[in-house]
Each structure stands twice: as structure tokens, then as C-alpha cells.
Amino acid sequence: MMNKLSFLTWLAVVNTTISSRSLLKMSDTSMLLLPRSSFSSLNLDRLNFALTTKIVSYQTLLLTRCMTDKASDFTLDAHAPLIIKQAYKLSGKINALGRDVTVSESSFSLKDNNSFTVSNSKSANYFSSHFTSTSTKPLFQIVDSDQVKFVSCNFSKAASGGIKSFNSNLKVLHAYFQQCKADSGAAIFVSGSEFKAECIDVRNCEAIQKGGAIFISSPECAASILQGHFSENKAGKGNSIFSRGNTNIIGCMFTSDRNAEIEGEFLEFQNLFLQSKIPKAFSPTQTPLATRTPPPIIFPTPIEEQATWSDVDTFTVLIIVIIAIVCIVFVIGIGFFVYWRMKKQRNTIYASEKEAKDENEMGTVEIKSKYSLSSVYEGLNP
């Protein structure tokens, strides 16, 4: 099969899977437009996006086992649900605008001024994925989103910070950060209403100003940091954590003393400081890295919106009801027929027995009659 594929525009793609046995290369200047269409989706599988590629999606888009070249200029604007699975070193500007996002078992390597932006999303979830960046922007920029969650993810060498969250509800669970840098909050920068970090491991991260690992900038933010391990982080203020909000820090471990590691407004309980050797709370080896040729997977079923009662065809419903009634009547009719046949058979058996019984009785009467007549004849003849 050919190893290069060039496309300028694709329109009105509905419930389609574009896949190949070998990796296809999207070359030249490419543009993919997915128009708004209900109950439709597109799955791009095993595609290598090279040079300039821009995708604008208004329908559910699935990217599975895709990648980008080092020289590629890749842009994705998703105005509909976006799902990325087993992508390999995907790079470029990825903007999820107002819709849900799900990323799993993938690796991202951003550069230039690229970032992964999520805005006005009700739900954005990232599972078992790796992120690295030499970009001048943070790896993730999250704005005005209801629920954003990172689970079992690794952030490595993010030149301008790992996660930057504004006015969003952010959860980071079982994550690993190493060698990230930023002005403030090298691993996580939070300016939002709620933030929770649990079992995270932050090592060798550095901030010029505040929060070598985590910076919580908003006073109204309700934050909790539980069972985190912070090792060899540096910052102008708060080597690991700087907080301006209502922050609870519980059960964490730090390499330096309390005053150097944590600054700002916070409550802390059962934390350990001056720990020379801190075990890893979460290791990158626990998350398998996506490879250039991932193992075969079952193609995911395109995700469709669930139909509502207003969308249901009444004529179709009527036909289904009529068919169901006919089937029920047919089954009942068969039952009555079987019952009638069995009853008739039982009646026939009883009739035969009765006839046999009557014949025996008749034979007895006949014998008795003959015996009585013979006695009379004997009496008449002296």
C-alpha cells in the first residue's frame, strides 16, 4: 500500500473510519474540515501528519495510533467531542473548544509556541499518557472548565510549565513531574475554584518566582494536596508549594525544612520534612509509553449522541408495537391449539375404555339371559 497520502479538503465525512495496515503519511499542505452533523463521527487511524496539516472538527473525532513528523505544523480545532488513543509523539496546537476531551495511552511532544488548550469543557480526562515540551507556552492551558482530571500521567521537561489552570475544577492523581520549569508553578499553576492533588511525585522542578512545584494564586481556591512527594525542587519562594488560598497539605514528604518548602496561607498535617531519600509516590514505569508501532487494538465504535424521545419516529414505534401484538396473539393461538389437541386425545382414550367396559357388561348380560332361559325350559319338560 502507498506510504504517502495527500488531501486538500474532505467534506461531510460521516461515521467513517480511515485506517491502514501500515502507517500512512499525510504530506504536502493538508486541510480537513468536518462539518457539523448530528449522530456522526470520524476515526483517523494510523496516520502520520507531515508538514502543514490543519483539522477543524464539528463532529466527534477519534485519533487512534496517529503521529506527527518532527517538521510538521499540526493544528487541531475541536468544536465537538475529541478522543485521542495511543497517539505517538503527537505535536502541535490542539484546541478543545467547549466540548469533552478524552486522552489515553498516548505521548505528546510539543514545541515552538504549541500547547494543549481546553476551554469551556464540561469534562476533560487524561489517562496513562506522557507529556513533554520545549514550547514557550505551558503544556496544558485549561480555562473555564467544569471537570478536568489527570490520572497516571507523566510530565517531563516542560520548558514553560506543566499544567496552568484558570477558573476550573482540576484534579491530578498519581502523576509524575520532573525537570519542569516556569516563572511560577513549574509543575502546576492554579488560579481556580477547586484543586486536588493526590499521590503526585514532583522532582527537580524549578520556578523563578514562586512555587517550584505548585503555585496556587487565587485566595478563594479550595485546594488539597495529599500524600505528595516533593524532591529537590527550587523557587524564589516556596521551593515546592506557594499558596495564597485555603490549602490543606496532608501526609506529604519534602527534602528541605518546612519554611523553605512551603510558603503562603495553608494548613499542614502529618508531613515529613528534611527527608534525604524520598521514595517515588508514582513512577513513570507504571505508565507504558506509546510506541511507533503500537499493538493492534480493536477499532473503537464511533461515539454517537443518544437519541431523545423527540427524535423517535412515531410510525416506526407503531409498526414495532403492532408486530409485537401479532407475535403475542400467534403464540397464544398456538398454545390454545396444543391444549385442544391434547384434550381431544384424552377424550378419545376415555371413550375406548368405556366402549370396552360396555362390551364386557353386555357379554355378562347375554350369558345370564341364556342361563335363565335354559332353566325355564328344563322346568317345562318333566
How distant, in Å, are the alpha carbons of 262, 368, 372 from that of 364? 119, 6, 12
Asked, for residue 100, whether it belongs to a domain, the answer is no
Query: Given this model, what pLDDT does residue 87 score?
Result: 92
Amino acid letter for position 185: G
Instruction: Report the alpha-carbon distance of residue 230 to residue 239 in Å, rounded.
Output: 9
Instruction: Report the alpha-carbon distance of residue 189 to residue 268 in Å, rounded.
Output: 20
Query: Given this model, what pLDDT does residue 261 score?
Result: 96
Asked, for residue 310, whether it belongs to a domain, the answer is no
Domain with 193, as residue range(s), is 144-286
Residue in 170, 169, 216, 210 with CA at minimum distance from that of residue 189: 216
> Exposed, middle or buried: residue 204 (CB in 10 Å: 0-12, 13-18, 19+)?
middle
Asked, for residue 334, whether it belongs to a domain, the answer is no
How distant, in Å, are the alpha carbons of 7, 92, 179 from that of 23? 16, 19, 33
Instruction: Report the alpha-carbon distance of residue 235 to residue 256 in Å, rounded.
Output: 12
pTM value surpassing 0.95: no
Query: Given this model, what pLDDT does residue 30 score?
Result: 55
Radius of gyration for the alpha carbons in the chain, expressed in angstroms and rounded: 39
Query: Given this model, what pLDDT does residue 166 score?
Result: 95
Instruction: Report the alpha-carbon distance of residue 269 to residue 258 in Å, rounded.
Output: 12
Q: In degrees, to the nearest 5, what angle opens at C-alpha 131 toward C-alphas 109 and 114?
A: 50
Asked, for residue 298, whether it belongs to a domain, the answer is no
Asked, for residue 201, whether it belongs to a domain, the answer is yes
Asked, for residue 11, whether it belongs to a domain, the answer is no
Query: Given this model, what pLDDT does residue 303 score?
Result: 38
What domain count does the chain have?
A: 1
Over residues 222-233, the pLDDT tens digits come to 999 999 999 999
Over residues 116-173, the pLDDT tens digits come to 999 999 999 999 999 999 999 999 999 999 999 999 999 999 999 999 999 999 999 9
Which 8-state DSSP code applies to residue 298? Answer: P
3-class SS of residue 278: coil
Tens of pLDDT along the chain (382 residues) come to: 333 444 434 443 444 555 544 444 555 445 566 555 545 788 888 888 887 788 888 888 999 999 888 878 889 999 999 999 999 888 999 999 988 999 999 999 998 889 999 999 999 999 999 999 999 999 999 999 999 999 999 999 999 999 999 999 999 999 999 999 999 999 999 998 899 999 999 999 999 999 999 999 988 899 999 999 999 999 999 999 999 988 999 999 999 999 999 999 999 999 999 998 888 765 554 444 444 444 333 333 433 444 444 445 677 778 888 998 988 988 888 888 888 888 777 665 444 444 444 545 555 545 555 555 455 455 555 5
Asked, for residue 135, whether it belongs to a domain, the answer is no
Q: Which residues contact 198 (CB under 8 A, 6 or more apart)?
A: 171, 172, 173, 174, 224, 225, 226, 227, 228
Instruction: Report the alpha-carbon distance of residue 236 to residue 345 in Å, rounded.
Output: 100
Asked, for residue 297, whether it belongs to a domain, the answer is no
Instruction: Report the alpha-carbon distance of residue 273 to residue 137 in Å, rounded.
Output: 32
Per 3-state DSSP, the chain is made up of helix, strand and coil in percentages (nearest 5) of 20, 40, 40
